[in-house]
């Protein structure tokens, strides 16, 4: 009886380990094709200096009021097209496409073009593609919406400690 119970426990343990272990090789990431922006999945995160915010509430209020406006600017490019020769095209809504190159390493890649001369990093799982926007890029987007009636750029630089975003894209299915 004890031997049967022991063998049952061992069999369940072996089965559990085999089911939870990763025995098959991960499918290679294929970037080639068209990727369309997923506006619902595109997000940004802002971390600010609370002391500065308490001393300058107008700057914080402007940022809170315009956060979604900045987020909507991330919906461009609306489509990204990768080809097999390591060329990538950003298709924008209201301007000419921007062509660049990409290099891939496992699930990660770097795109370099005239908009991102130092490169923009991304990752993919063959269904979704993410572009990671840096603080410098996000600050430039924020500065692009400022008018002469808004707080000066220097005040936002003092307020914002971290400002990052992810643009989410979904692979477009091509008809047969």
Task: Classify residue 50: in a domain, yes or no.
Answer: yes
| Six-digit token string for 129 | 């593609």
Task: Classify residue 12: in a domain, yes or no.
Answer: no
pLDDT value for 24:
53
Q: 10-residue block means of pLDDT along the chain (176 residues)?
A: 44 45 66 94 94 94 95 93 94 93 91 95 94 96 95 96 96 71
Give the bridge partners for 35, in sequence order. Answer: 80, 171
Q: Which of 122, 157, 121 is nearest to 139 (CA)?
A: 157
Domain CATH for 100: 2.40.128
pLDDT value for 173:
78
Task: Classify residue 92: in a domain, yes or no.
Answer: yes
Domain count, the chain: 1
Task: Classify residue 17: in a domain, yes or no.
Answer: no
Total-model pTM: 0.79
Task: Classify residue 162: in a domain, yes or no.
Answer: yes
CA quadruple 60, 66, 70, 71: dihedral sign: positive
Task: Classify residue 19: in a domain, yes or no.
Answer: no
Task: Classify residue 151: in a domain, yes or no.
Answer: yes
Task: Classify residue 124: in a domain, yes or no.
Answer: yes
pLDDT value for 137:
95
pLDDT value for 29:
84
Q: What is the tally of helices (H) and strands (E) in the chain?
A: 5, 9
Q: CA distances (Å), 3 to each of 8, 11, 12, 17, 109, in order?
A: 9, 12, 14, 21, 53
pLDDT value for 4:
45
Show the domain range for 92: 26-171
């Amino acid at each position: 009886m004890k031997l049967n119970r022991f063998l049952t426990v061992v069999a369940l343990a072996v089965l559990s380990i085999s089911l939870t272990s990763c025995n098959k090789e991960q499918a290679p990431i294929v970037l080639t094709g068209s990727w369309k922006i997923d506006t619902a999945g595109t997000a940004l995160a802002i971390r600010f200096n609370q002391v500065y915010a308490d001393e300058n509430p107008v700057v914080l209020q402007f940022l809170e009021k315009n956060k979604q406006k900045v987020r909507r600017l991330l919906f461009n490019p609306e489509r990204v097209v990768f080809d097999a020769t390591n060329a990538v095209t950003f298709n924008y809504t209201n301007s000419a496409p921007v062509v660049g190159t990409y290099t891939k390493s496992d699930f990660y890649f770097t795109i370099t073009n005239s908009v991102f001369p130092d490169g923009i990093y991304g990752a993919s799982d063959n269904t979704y593609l993410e572009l990671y926007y840096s603080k410098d890029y996000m600050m430039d987007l924020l500065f692009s919406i400022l008018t002469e009636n808004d707080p000066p750029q220097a005040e936002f630089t003092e307020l914002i400690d971290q400002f990052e975003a992810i643009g989410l894209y979904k692979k477009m299915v091509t008809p047969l």
